[in-house]
Chain A
Amino acid sequence: MLDIIIRNATQRKVRTGLTITGIALGIFALVVMGAMSENFNQTFEKSMSLTSESIRVFPEIGVFGGGLTTGKVAEVKRVPGVKDAYGLITTSFDEGHGGMGGKQVMGIPPEKSQLALNPVKLQSGRFLQPGDKYLTVVGASIAGEFDLQVGSKLEIHDKNFTVVGIMEYTGSFFDNVATMPLETAQDLYNFDNSLSTIFAIAQDGVDEELLAKRIEFSVKGTSTISPSELREQASQSLLIFSVITVSSALLAAIIGGLSVMNTMLMSVIERTREFGILKAMGAETKDILLMTLGEAAIMGVAGGLVGIGFGSLLTHVLNSWLSTQGIVLFMITPRLIVVAMLFATIIGMVSGLYPAYRAAKMSPMEALRHG
């Protein structure tokens, strides 16, 4: 039966080609948008796994809220149940290239450097140490982009920094981070003694949820996010992002599916007499259904393969180009390919259901009289 199905699909090459193109465009959109979503998911998940053990302390927003300063770190440390705390500043590496995939500068107290970056390991060099000034430890993507090695010079905000350490690739935002001593960063960016965030680490056995509330209550002008809240917020944001990207891609794929339905309806009408002949020869309803649905499924599979192929190619090209900016925007995962392929096949078959039903239900004599 497969040979008949393939023969039917290839008999009208232009129309079949256009239909496959319709599906391929939809799947292409699904793959590209899905790859973006997968990349953000993976980056978030890895970033979370690397940093979610700490309670984040932010300045309270509102009329009575004030900025975070280095003085607040001591206050956080004094809260019962807090094992350690440190403040840091984060800012864009290059003001013109901030944003989602952009490079970041992170000013961290040198003595807490290893703690702040834990469990990220170094591929070469060392972490920051007390007494360091214009020295930096950079992420793997930054090292790759600027072709840096330990001892290389890196210009940050018009100042030359010497690279003393290079982090291993993590697949998280750490890959695009250049760390420097907190005080150097505060001077460089005129932050005075301001901080972006304070990280508090709970003592063993202390409930982090309760400790976060205690910090908020004890240290005036602060709000906190516990690790579980952070996970929840991150997954909600990711979910919204995924829904937006994937639903727009699904829309494109559904439009592709409609083109299959149109083609199959045309094909069924054109081949009405043929179905009549087949029925006169003793073909059963299931044979006609299989033939028509099989043709739709083959177009779906072909559209899926083409869409996945071009989608993968484009994301690869864009990733290669963006890597010069230190940005990785797309990630093609096996899960994404399986979903895209299944979706293409299902959309082809679902779109072929009605035409197949029409073909199968036709009376043989009525079909033979046609055309």
Chain B
Amino acid sequence: MDDGVILQVEGLSKTYMQGKIPVHALRGVSLSVKKGEMVAIMGPSGSGKSTLMALVGCLEKATSGKIVIDGVDVTTAPDKRLPRIRREKLGFVFQHYNLLTALSAISNVELAMRFSKVSKRERLDRAKSLLVNLGLGNRLKHKPTELSGGEQQRVSIARAIANRPAIVLADEPTGEVDSKTRDAIIEIFESLRAQGQTVIIVTHDQYVADRCDRTIRIIDGGIADAESV
């Protein structure tokens, strides 16, 4: 792997079975992302971009191909090692935030670090510091239902970066928010990039893609082109 490449995908394919009919969601996708890059993945609905994110995120197994994250070939890693890869190498930001509704903002962020065996004091300190940095210092004890969409997404971002992952994977992170909040979220991702964090964003929004370093377009399970900003 080249120096500075944090994600290498080679010939990645995913085929689902719908009953007896095979559906080829991804067909031999290859790409690479460098450390500190902010990359947009765009494509029409059903093009395979979310499948690509799920495979890179080790949430699903590829049918064939290879994914190397931060030097670790996750496609050959045994199933029992995948949770560790997810918590050490990856952070997820979802379109619908996916916060645990029974927990406060700080508990949602802190929970992500529990599985990494971080001490309680450090978990709480780090969660608080992240939320304060994202402008949620006065919303620490609020539950998700008491937060706006933008605030929930900021909690979700704080949770994603809590374990200091190699890559943040954001699936339509601005899909549920207004344009002002969208700007605020993009700015957060930009500031993360400035700190050397790699961010991959799946989006339908050209405005978001334009703010990224480059865009990878996926159509019918394959890469259509790649463009740099």
**B213 touches A (CB below 8 Å):** no
Contact A283/B115 with A363-B60, A365-B54, A368-B59 known, Cβ cut-off 8 Å:
yes
Q: For the complex, would chain A's binding face be called helix, strand, loop or mixed by DSSP majority?
A: helix
Is residue B112 contacting chain A, with contact meaning CB distance below 8 A? yes
Distance of A363 Cα from B103 Cα, bound (Å) = 23
Contact-size category for B: 20 to 34
With both beta carbons as reference points, the residue of chain B lying nearest to A274 in the complex is identified as B100
Q: Does A284 contact B (CB under 8 A)?
A: yes
Asked if B189 lies at the interface with its beta carbon under 8 angstroms from chain A, I say: no
Bound CA span A284–B111, Å: 13
A282 near B163 (CB under 8 angstroms)? yes
Please measure, in the bound complex, the distance between the C-alpha atom of A365 and the C-alpha atom of B83, giving whole angstroms.
13
| Contact assessment for B100 and A282 in the assembled complex, using a CB-CB cutoff below 8 Å | no
Within 8 A of B (CB), among A311-335: none
Given the known interface contacts A282-B88, A368-B59, the answer about A287 and B100 at a Cβ–Cβ threshold of 8 Å is: no
Which residues on B sit within 8 Å (CB–CB) of A4? 111
Q: How far is the CA of A311 from the CA of B189 in the complex (A)?
A: 60
Chain B residues numbered 69-119 whose CB sits less than 8 Å from any CB in chain A: 80, 83-84, 86-88, 92, 94, 98, 100, 102-103, 111-112, 114-116
Within 8 Å CB of A11, what residues of B? 102
B154 close to chain A: CB less than 8 A: no
A7 within 8 A of B: yes
Judge if A280 is at the interface, Cβ distance under 8 Å: yes
Tell me how far the C-beta of B111 lies from the nearest C-beta in chain A, rounded to whole angstroms.
Answer: 7
Q: By the criterion CB–CB under 8 Å, are B100 and A279 in contact?
A: no
B57: CB under 8 A from chain A?
yes
Contact of A282 with B115 in the complex, beta carbons under 8 Å: yes
Q: Which of A1-59 contact B (CB under 8 A)?
A: 1, 4, 7-8, 11
Chain A interface category by residue count: 20 to 34
Chain A residues with Cβ below 8 Å from B115 are 278, 281-284, 287
- What is the CA–CA distance of A78 and B88 in the complex, to the nearest angstrom? 93
Q: Which of A1, A277, A363, A368 contacts B100 (CB 8 A)?
A: A277
**Does B83 lie within 8 Å of A279, measured CB to CB?**
yes
- Residues of B near A7 (CB, < 8 A) are 102-103
Q: Are B59 and A282 in contact (CB under 8 A)?
A: no
Q: Which of B60, B87, B102 contacts A281 (CB 8 A)?
A: B87
Residue of B nearest to A273 (CB): B98
**In the complex, which residues 355-371 of chain A have their Cβ closer than 8 Å to any Cβ of chain B?**
363-365, 368
Q: A282-B83, A282-B163, A284-B83 are in contact. Are A277 and B88 (CB under 8 A)?
A: no
B residues bordering A, Cβ < 8 Å? 54, 57, 59-60, 80, 83-84, 86-88, 92, 94, 98, 100, 102-103, 111-112, 114-116, 159, 163
